[in-house]
Each structure stands twice: as C-alpha cells, then as structure tokens.
Structure 1
Amino acid sequence: MKNIPLTLALVAGVALSGPALARRGDDYGRYDTRYDWATVVDVDPIIERSRRPVSREVCYDQPVERYEPGYTARRNHTGATVLGAVIGGALGNQVGKGDGRKAATIAGAVIGGAVGNNTSQRRGDYYETSGGYTTDYETRCREQTAWRGNDEIVGYQVTYRYRGDVFHTTMDHHPGNRLRVRVDRGVTPAE
C-alpha cells in the first residue's frame, strides 16, 4: 500500500492536465475565448421600402363665360303720371263741398301725378336693348394626392472570411473592410 499515494498523485495529475491538453488544440482556440480580425468579403444593405400619401391643394384659373345684358331706361313717364293724376283727382273729388271740393280735386290730381311719375322711375322702367358674352376667370381648387416612396437602410447582410472559412451575419452598421470577431467555440462578430 505504499504505492497508493503515488497512484493517487498520478490520477490527480492526469485529471488536472486533461483540460490543459484539450485547450492546446489548433481548432481556432476552441475552448479559449480570444479576439481577432476577419476579412469582410461582401456587404449588402437591407432596405425597407415605405410609401405614404402626400396631399396638396392645386389651384387654377377656370375661364367662365357670362352674359351681361344692356338696359335702356324708358324716358317717357307720361302714362304713369297721367294715370296717377286721374286717380288722385277722383279721390280728391270725393272730399269736401263746393270750392273745397274743387281744391281737393286739383290737389289730388297734382299729388297723384307726382306719385305716378315717381313710382315709374323707382320701378326701374327699363328694357333690354343690347347684351353680350364676356369671359371672366374664377379660381378653382382641388386636392391632389401623390404617393411618396422612401427607402431606408435598416441593416446589413455581411459575409466575412476567417482562416479560410466563410461566415454570414446581420449587422446594424456597415463593418468596413475588416470585422473584429470573437473566437471561442465558433467565430462570431465581437460586440
């Protein structure tokens, strides 16, 4: 049993040296984490397209034809004046007796004639003699909708090479010509 401590020492030495021997493998430093640089082979932008409506008011002058009549005033108000005098005189004749009746008839005729003449002038006793078409312009507006497209880069598809092997990743920025990578159980971009 003198060899038991020696056997235990050998077993312990082999057990402790196993991971150390495994770390020395040439498989990209498989169990060690380290950082290195990879060569970027290709970078393709990831583009997101969007469309949105843009409305605006468009105004223009529209030609419009209008008829404009020409009027002439009637200059002869005699008929209305005479009719007013007759009606006024008849009404005045109904008032009073004797000389008062004569005065009321004359006053009624004068007042009736004046009212008839004035009424015919206010009434606009006009008639159309000429007219014609004229062209005016009216401003008219309408709403016009156009679609605006927008392309936005939201990321990059990156292809890179490390020690002869090719890898792919998606990044939120352009990496440039080389990419810092983390090498442990695999090769990944370092953050």
Structure 2
Amino acid sequence: MRNVRSSGAKSAPPVESWDPPYCGNIGMKIARDGRWFYQGSPIGRAALVKLFASILRKDADGRTYLVTPVEKVDVEIEDAPFLGVELAVSGDGRDQTLTLRTNVDDEVTIDRAHPLRFVASEPDGGLKPYVLIRGRLEALCTRAVYAELAELATSKEGEESGIVGVWSSGKWWEMG
C-alpha cells in the first residue's frame, strides 16, 4: 500500500508548487459530514468530488483553496476537508501499524509524516481524532474509526499514569 494515494491517482498533482492568482470565492464548501457543495447545491458525483479533492490546498494563511496552475479559489471548510472512514491495523503493540482511508480514497499510514492528534470538542469535551493527509490538510476520523482507535488504546508500556494512546509506526500517539 502506498503511503499516500490521492483520489485513486498514482500521485497527487503538485499543488504546493503552483502559484496562480487568487480568483475569489465561487461558493465551494465542504460540510462537517464530508459533503461538498457548490453555491449551496450538493455535488453528488463522487468522481468530481475526488477530482476537486486532489487539487485542494491549505495555505500558511489558514485558508483552503482549490488550486490549478492558472487560478486559486476559496473553499469553506466546516471542520476538516476529509473524513477518515476506514482503519486498517497490522501487527500489534509497538510493532502495530495503522493505515487510514479517507472518504475520497486517500490512504496514509499513521506515522511521523502523517501524525494522529486528538482535540477536545466543545462543549462536551469529548475527543476528535485528526490525521494529517498531505500538506496542511487533515481528515477528521468518523465515530466508527474513533471507536476502533479507542478499542486499540493502551497505556504506554511501563507507565501507570492512566494516560492512554495508540501505537503506529513505532510511535505512541497520546489520546489527550
């Protein structure tokens, strides 16, 4: 399995190296549940969503854009641009490797290049797990994936602190 498979393609377009002019807001939005919208209407074609996802970029200014070699337009993101929908586990303990598949079929192995982080959600204080997919773009793990992570949670070996986390790619990822 490749470390990143972007939208079913062999490799992601080099959006990080493109420097097109900013062309404004055209009404693109990604909802919290992963649905894409154009001017308030849902984009129902999965192939089109995957194409758009492959040219998505989050810049240092914190804004997310659809980027081509000739233009850059805003995309409103309610939470994260992708959803982590499937978790594959191989090995166990320190030798365990976790691989996440997103709703647009990107696949990443949770490792130092694709870290897992947990953020307290408001107002209940529950945890929301995110995985870095590429660039500055993250996937919010679905409840099902979060449940799998919780089932895999363990204390760090030799510690009685009560703090739990999961192992992947030789690193222990603390659950907050």
TM-score if structure 2 supplies the norm length?
0.17
Greater share of residues in helix: 1
Greater share of residues in strand: 1
TM-score if structure 1 supplies the norm length?
0.16
Name the structure, 1 or 2, with higher relative contact order (CA <8 Å, separation 6+): 1
Query: Which structure has the larger Rg?
Result: 1
